[in-house]
Structure 1
Amino acid sequence: MTLEQDPEVFGDKDTKQQILDATVELIRKGGVECVTLRQIAAKAEVNLALVNYYYRSKDNLLIEAVRTLISRFDAAFNALEDEALPPGERLKQFFKQYAGHLLQYPGLAKHMMGQTPSIMGSLHKYSQYSKTMKQKKMLTALREATGEQDEERLRMMMVQLFGAVLMPIVAFTCAEPKDQDESLPGAQLPPVEIQVDHLIDHYFHKYQI
């Protein structure tokens, strides 16, 4: 009996999803570089041959898993379109949700710091589209909050805010456990919600948002 004829394999979408879920969970905890096919098979409780059957290669599986993880951040950008909130509050809600997701996915933070070229190359078109749409939402919220019309200045603000909110989280997440309580200032920072409130209030003080 061939693999395709095996009733345990053929047409079993649940098994395919099970493999993807296991891969996502392993990346969530440890990052892309640390994941092996044997770990995935063990986590999914399936035979290694099934992993190869459904996804053909490790890269194909990792691409799908990283795309799944990235898509989970999309909801945070919806906060930027909530017209019931003033623009400054929309920015706060966005950064709180985005940072909260990043804290839940330490492995993805590691991936952001040391991206696997083959994986990110295959995700290029998806990433470019996603980034373009999300940047537009961010720039619109910043424009409304500040009244600034200069596109270059708005992009500079966007980069500075992302860096101020996310880099301490990424740096702390990527540190070795033995270093987290000693060498990183982020270990002593208040909860991310308080950090975001302080940052937005301070950064946009002159705009009185």
Structure 2
Amino acid sequence: MTYMVDASRIFMRFLKGFRKTAVFAITTRCNCRCMMCDMYKKPPRSISFEDARKVLDFLYENKFLIVYFTGGEPTLHPDVIDIVKYANDLGFVTAMTTNGTVSRDTLVKLKEAGLYLLSVSFDHWEPEICEKIRRHKGIKDKQERTIRLCKEIGLRTHTLTFLNSYVLRDGVERLIEYVNEKLGVPFGFCYPVKTNSSFYSLGQNLSEEEVSY
């Protein structure tokens, strides 16, 4: 029933001209040291709740439909629940990406605040490779636990995989099968991105042949 109400609300907003998507990085704070990201090398910064409200008001006035919260690790922002709730109260479809280290209590509060979708980063089926990519001990177990908890509390979730040389070498199809069948959730890709920023460079260490795989 809740899913039907959400779909109806989204459709009505779409008919009113709300069509655009914003990716909103609310913090650079993170508890991983990912091989494709340099954020951890700089002092962490987070937007204040008041400034986040101003950004969301601006997006609403300009007919954005979806707000995708990211970071850093957005669940480490001290006001993440209030930010999601404010966005939900404005009528946005709210989504968020996480590295999978989020607690059950935070997941429950995010769902209660109105979060529509949680994307969980997931890099490989081998724990050692996941730790090599994220530089975080036990990261694969934490990601799988987060996915299980989302399913348990009824929070929509799927995985996101950035294109990395390990999964290209070992088999993209095998990873998709692992996620779909073992974890029981949809699978998604973060595609290679060209950027002038040193913060986050997806796929820039891949060969042309790997990118075109």
TM-score by length of 2: 0.25
Q: Whose relative contact order is higher, 1 or 2, with alpha carbons under 8 Å and at least 6 apart?
A: 1
Mark the structure with the bigger radius of gyration: 1
TM-score by length of 1: 0.25
Q: Which structure is higher in strand share?
A: 2
Q: Which structure is higher in helix share?
A: 1
